[in-house]
Chains A and B, each alone.
Chain A
């Protein structure tokens, strides 16, 4: 359906895309992941010429869209786009947002367009909102309307540019449910996202973008379980782990806790595990850093999908000190909690750092 050859894009002297080569076949769901600033959205926007490539070729159904004789508007009708910021027409009702395109561009009658629009709104669970205006909807509802709008234009492929990034976590699942349904029904899709769940569970292939090109691509099992290249490995490791640096004794415990809760929620970890992580961390930090002997601390919480377990590692400086065996505290209440809620507790001294690690019990 889409073939990209040696695509490059520069903004002035800044090279965003160096040499992108890709193919998206009918029925595929391509999910594009990678660190921020690596050109994922720019690549997506080049596909429907919202950005003009600097060099290279893009073929839609074997038609070169960069050829000056190509009817780009006609080709663009084949491609729907769902944006991070929804981009619904604010002055039109939900129903009108879905009918304006089919009536004006596809030549449908208003009655036919409205009938189809209602079916699509039912499919995304929003038929009762047909007479509402976009600003009366939640973020998740707006995005579902945006998806229905693409479907009303009978697009062959839908491009999604970070469709859930502007949504709060409670709304993400309703949009993912619609995307999942479209994938099941065989819709060809290309999705730029930071939601690894989309890449893991919905993608037929994953493109990891870095260094201005598709650095590595493959099925989700390869990218997530067995990445071949170094930067892919480093990225996958980072998204699966939470890191926090504590620089002073006056650190904000609650700010750190909020970030840990967000990480646990992202990995759909049970409430009990979240509670135990926070309690283990509070007790270990008190054991590792008694008030009279402060040193900076690095925390790493890494979730292993393979072993379905959470590993907590705390690195601290200062003199050699094993808090699992020695204690400057007045009692062993904290130690009892740590030994009850954690397993495989280990201590080692590496390069002048005290490293304590454990697995959080479920």
Chain B
């Protein structure tokens, strides 16, 4: 999976490309650990190029949401494909996360 971080003002955007699954979720987890240390503002996950997410990926996103909440900041997930949105819907994550398609 490719992870591309960009910053615009105080907002950090993390764009994922590929699959967020059992194999790649640790990679995102490590990337986020570095991001928390330097985070100055809100976080956007750009999922436009993400084809697939499993429970392993959902757990990392959930942890990210909890961390953002504890920092008093906001997190948004953009560019969500129909396939990924369906996984968010069936697991109830659509209710917890701020998602735009």
Interface residue ranges, A against B (CB under 8 Å)? 253-254, 272, 275, 278-279, 282-283, 286, 331, 333-334, 336-337, 340-341
B27, CB-defined interface residue at 8 Å: no
| Residue among A253, A272, A278, A334 making CB contact with B55, cutoff 8 Å | A334
B33, CB-defined interface residue at 8 Å: no
Q: Which residues of A contact B58 (CB under 8 A)?
A: 333
| Residue among A254, A286, A336 making CB contact with B90, cutoff 8 Å | A336
Most buried by B among A279, A283, A333, A341: A333
B59, CB-defined interface residue at 8 Å: yes
Minimum distance in angstroms from A328 CB to a CB of chain B: 14
Q: Are B90 and A337 in contact (CB under 8 A)?
A: yes
Decide yes or no: A333 and B59 within 8 Å by CB, A275-B52, A279-B54, A283-B54 being known contacts: yes
Q: Are A272 and B54 in contact (CB under 8 A)?
A: no
Looking at chain B's contact residues, the main secondary structure is helix
A253-B22, A278-B52, A283-B55 given; 15 more Cβ-contact pairs under 8 Å: A254-B23, A279-B52, A279-B54, A282-B22, A282-B54, A282-B56, A286-B22, A331-B55, A333-B55, A333-B59, A334-B54, A334-B55, A336-B91, A336-B92, A337-B55
Q: Are B23 and A279 in contact (CB under 8 A)?
A: no
Q: Which residues of B contact A336 (CB under 8 A)?
A: 90-92
B87, CB-defined interface residue at 8 Å: yes
Minimum distance in angstroms from B70 CB to a CB of chain A: 19
B4, CB-defined interface residue at 8 Å: no
Q: Which residues of B contact A337 (CB under 8 A)?
A: 54-55, 87, 90-91
